[in-house]
Structure 1
Amino acid sequence: MNRFRPVAAALGAVLAAAAIAAPAAAQQKSVAVVAIVEHPALDAARDGVREALAAAGFKEGQNLRWQYQSAQGNTGTAAQIARKFVGDRPDVIVAIATPAAQAVAAATKQVPLVYTAVTDPVAAQLVPSWEPSGTNVTGVSDMLALDKQVELIRQVVPDAKRVGMVYNPGEANSAVVVKQLQALLPKSGMTLVEAAAPRTVDVGSAARSLIGKVDVIYTNTDNNVVSAYEALVKVGNDAKIPLVASDTDSVKRGAIAALGVNYRDLGVQTGQVVARILKGEQPGAIASETSSKLELFVNRTAAQRQGVTLSDALLKSAAQVIE
């Protein structure tokens, strides 16, 4: 019988190793991330999610499977990616920007969905209210208080009467902002002049249509516009129309000023919500969140090119001044 002991010992070792490996395999988590398009703000949000997950102990190649795909600005592609991810059955799907989140929400009512960089999740019909949804959806909004945006426009262009806005009418984020500005601007003696850009390639022509009609152009976090911001900057520089943004990365690309969310911080905040779900919380029990961390960026060179002299007070209040 002794000759069987080595075999039995080897078999025991294999079974013991399998017993150890089984819990480790059970702890493996999967997060699938879809963005409607790639641009600096949304990329920063994605990287923030990954950073927060690592800080919470979920690391790629160890106990986390991470998938990422961009829809390249195409809502049809976003829907395809959403269906593919739902079929993969990850533990959480993270959707960056409203069209991506809407695509995932349409594709599943079971897989946990955490949205980020969505201005108004209620208007986008992702959640019924800002309270815990009771569904598979929660997330972090980049909604901004528009009264502060109007105040910034006044600081950059004190005599402005007509505010232009290039936006995609099909993006819920932008449609909400347009409606709110239509009501808010007259209280400050200004009116809104709209220019539709349904596609990224329309941004330049939409901006040109505002020449001679506006004193300043304001842009929200519309993904079409942000993706093609250089086209808007060219019009602003050539026609001497000041550009004010709500995305601080747009200041680095040629806007004069922006008071906006730090999208990496927004991503970190989103990743912390994802980690809570991976650890067992239900998405429907987690209320949608916003970020209260706003930063003012100012571009002195852009101001010169667009014919604006910035006040010392505005420059001193900026978190970052780009020369």
Structure 2
Amino acid sequence: MKSLSWAPLGAIALAAAALAPAAHAQQKSVAVTAIVEHPALDSIRDGVKAQLQAAGFEEGKNLKWQYQSAQGNTGTAAQIARKFVGDKPDAIVAIATPSAQAVVAATKTVPVVFSAVTDPVAAKLVKNWEPSKTNVTGVSDMLALDKQMDLVKQVVPGAKRVGMVYNPGEANSVVVVKELKQLLPKMGMTLVEASAPRSVDVSSAARSLVGKVDVIYTNTDNNVVSAYESLVKVGQEAKVPLVASDTDSVKRGAIAALGINYRDLGEQTGRMVVRLLKGEKPGDIKPEVSTKMELFVNPGAAEKQGVKLSDALVKSATQVVQ
């Protein structure tokens, strides 16, 4: 009787012991941080999560998912980075340049996937566009600026002076300013800069451009995008047309944008995270650039800002915002 009673209990114990490591191996941890919350960056976060779920990694089942926003504060971004590194997740997703810089500065071992970083080389996240052989890889939202300026000319055909509000402390914006200073003279235009180190500075920076520019162009600067409504208010009051590089900004009052679908960018980032969770090393994965471009136009915003869009431009748009 003793041996009979022991056998099934032993079998159960052995089965439990065999299953425990397997269950533990399936459990993965992904920590996500963004410098600020606005529609484009939120779309990336949601795209990453959706792609993980599509690959079978589901929060509460076999995935521990953490998300924290730095609320636009680089000091907070550094604190979040240190906290996440201490948690030792299987991957940290860092959305936007300041958050990516904070995370990369905090660890040389935990796998890091950046997203929505315009120039990861200039931001010193990677040395070049080849596999880094470090703990870092990711997806860039770099845009061809000549095509951006072609759009500016289509919206405001006679534009000579292009204004740009940006945060001089954000590496991706500094890169865009530098490139525009070289590009615009070749296109018969000049750049007029206005500094907005904080989101609350966006409105006053925009007002400083009134009377000095024919159009205001905005890149994916996180301070500017998070406070876009204040820019739109100035554009409407002063009849200064706004052209963006973030398509979500068109829904918020920009006249037009030739930009990336940030949900797609998030899913592209998510596919990269899945590769890490399945065993690939970040240093073996080449950084990627999103190549899918979309044109959004807003004829109503154009009218409020003193311009009329050509029928040809409206017809060529991916989406017409009413």
TM-score between the two structures when normalised by the length of structure 1: 0.98
Structure 2: which amino acid aligns with 1:105? V
Query: Partner of 1:310 in structure 2?
Result: 309
Separation of aligned partners in 2, 1:227 and 1:184: 27
Where 1:128 maps in the other structure, the secondary structure is: coil
TM-score between the two structures when normalised by the length of structure 2: 0.98
Structure 2: which amino acid aligns with 1:166? V
> What is the deviation of 1:12?
2.7
Deviations 1:2-24 (A, max 9, x none): 14532542243133123223201
Separation of aligned partners in 2, 1:203 and 1:269: 31
Residues 232-311 of structure 1: pairs in structure 2 closer than 5 A: 232-311=231-310
Query: Partner of 1:33 in structure 2?
Result: 32
> What is the deviation of 1:169?
0.3
1:212 has 2:207 as partner: no
> What is the deviation of 1:64?
1.1
Query: Partner of 2:181 in structure 1?
Result: 182
1:63 has 2:69 as partner: no
Where 1:76 maps in the other structure, the secondary structure is: helix
Deviations 1:124-143 (A, max 9, x none): 00000001111100000000
Larger mean Cα displacement after TM superposition, 56-65 or 161-170: 56-65
Separation of aligned partners in 1, 2:177 and 2:74: 21
Separation of aligned partners in 1, 2:8 and 2:270: 45
Structure 2: which amino acid aligns with 1:190? M
Larger mean Cα displacement after TM superposition, 245-254 or 11-20: 11-20
Query: Partner of 2:129 in structure 1?
Result: 130
What's the % identity of the aligned pairs?
Answer: 76
Separation of aligned partners in 2, 1:26 and 1:118: 31
Deviations 1:88-145 (A, max 9, x none): 0001000000000000000000000000000000000000000111110000000000
Separation of aligned partners in 2, 1:244 and 1:57: 40
Where 1:127 maps in the other structure, the secondary structure is: coil
Structure 1: which amino acid aligns with 2:132? S
Structure 1: which 5+ residue stretches go unaligned? none
Separation of aligned partners in 1, 2:190 and 2:297: 24
Query: Partner of 1:194 in structure 2?
Result: 193
Where 2:116 maps in the other structure, the secondary structure is: strand
Separation of aligned partners in 1, 2:317 and 2:252: 17
Separation of aligned partners in 2, 1:212 and 1:40: 30
Number of residues of Structure 1 aligned to a counterpart in Structure 2: 322
Separation of aligned partners in 1, 2:6 and 2:130: 60
Query: Partner of 1:81 in structure 2?
Result: 80
Query: Partner of 1:21 in structure 2?
Result: 20
Separation of aligned partners in 2, 1:15 and 1:285: 38
Deviations 1:33-70 (A, max 9, x none): 01000000000001111111111221112211111100
Query: Partner of 1:10 in structure 2?
Result: 9
Structure 2: which amino acid aligns with 1:204? S
> What is the deviation of 1:188?
1.1
Larger mean Cα displacement after TM superposition, 21-30 or 33-42: 21-30
Residues 83-232 of structure 1: pairs in structure 2 closer than 5 A: 83-232=82-231
Structure 1: which amino acid aligns with 2:41? L
Separation of aligned partners in 1, 2:116 and 2:53: 20
